[in-house]
Amino acid sequence: MSETHGADPLVAAFRKQYQEIGARLDQAGGSAEREAVKREIIAFFKRVDQALAELGQVKEEIRALVERYKQLSVETDSAQAPQFTGARPVVQQDHLGASTYIEKGWSLISLGDYAGAIQSLGKALVLAPSETQAQSLLGWAQMLHEDYDDALSTFSRVLMKEPANSLARINVGYICLKKRIFGEAIEHLSKAIRLDNDRKATLYAHYYLGLVYLEREMYEDAVTFFQKTLQIGPNLIEAYYELGRASWFLGDKPAARSTWADGYKANRFNPWGKRCKEMLDLTDKGGEPPRNPS
């Protein structure tokens, strides 16, 4: 347990205690002195163990802070990436420590440190190049970091191994939407709907197809997909906002206003619920919803 320059004060205090007990152990002559040092070691171990338990609790509480931050700072960009809600990874077979980097990558994505996650997952793949779970998480991190070309390449490798991986497929669809490669976006999203083996993937596939058709000014198709989105996931509030826009541009202004009212009622504290209310206020004054999504 060596001294580390610039260590956290808590860690530094524990290291100092460790060194002091070690020095007394070296100097202990009789059995009584050794027994006293033994009691010190046991007490020291218990203090460190308790601190670790309390720090673990603080770590989980920090995750709650991150979620609160994300809720307050949601960017109202119409093509949000699917919310990362992946389960903590369980690696069946460790590859020279790859599992440690995979779990760290998962934690960093959930905390919003996408650059750190990319670095950690890259190390995992150096140790275990064929680990599909690490590749999937790396694709998520790259996509959320807006490294779209890298993410597209990573998810393509995942799909070569797992063609029925619907979450990877809708992420490819999302990236193609962001890059305005609409034909490929439709192909991947439609396949995810046909597979229908993951509820979240099916939900986002409908939503992104609605956005694709909205971007292409094919408003009737956009309305259809947004309506299906809300049938599957009525809590995806952004779908109310976009369905309202599609209905408005289709020429059905009463339906648009009714949809925005429903979105605001569904969750008035959600950033998209607030945007629905903004559209109601704007159109009340004779304004027009934005043609562009942002």
Average pLDDT in the chain: 86
Is residue 83 scored above 70 in pLDDT? no
**Which tens digit of pLDDT belongs to each residue from 178-194?**
999 999 999 999 999 99
Distance of CA 283 to the CA centre of its chain: 34
- DSSP assignment of 227-260 equals HHHHHH-TT-THHHHHHHHHHHHHT-HHHHHHHH
Reading the block at residue 292, the tokens are: 């562009």
- Whether the per-residue pLDDT at 5 is higher than 80: the answer is no
Q: What sign for the dihedral angle of Cα 256, 258, 260, 266?
A: negative
Which of residues 70 and 38 earns the better pLDDT score?
38
pLDDT tier at 220 (50, 70, 90 boundaries)?
very high
What does the pLDDT average to over 220-244?
A: 96
Measure CA of the first residue to CA of the last residue in the chain; give whole Å. 53
| Residue 76 pLDDT | 44
CA–CA dist 175, 187 (Å, integer)? 13
- Considering just the CA atoms, what is the radius of gyration of the chain in Å? 26
Residue 267 has pLDDT above 90, yes or no: yes
Which range among 17-21, 73-77, 96-100, 105-109 shows the weakest confidence by mean pLDDT?
A: 73-77
Q: Are the CB atoms for 191 and 176 separated by under 8 Å? A: no
Q: Enter the pTM of the model.
A: 0.74
Say if residue 72's pLDDT is above 80. no
Distance in angstroms (rounded) separating the CA atoms of residues 190 and 196:
10
Q: How confident is the model at residue 75 (pLDDT cuts 50, 70, 90)?
A: very low
3-state secondary structure 123-187: HHHHHCCCCHHHHHHHHHHHHHCCCHHHHHHHHHHHHHHCCCCHHHHHHHHHHHHHCCCHHHHHH
Q: Give the other-Cβ count within 10 Å of 160's Cβ.
A: 9
Amino acid sitting at position 276: C
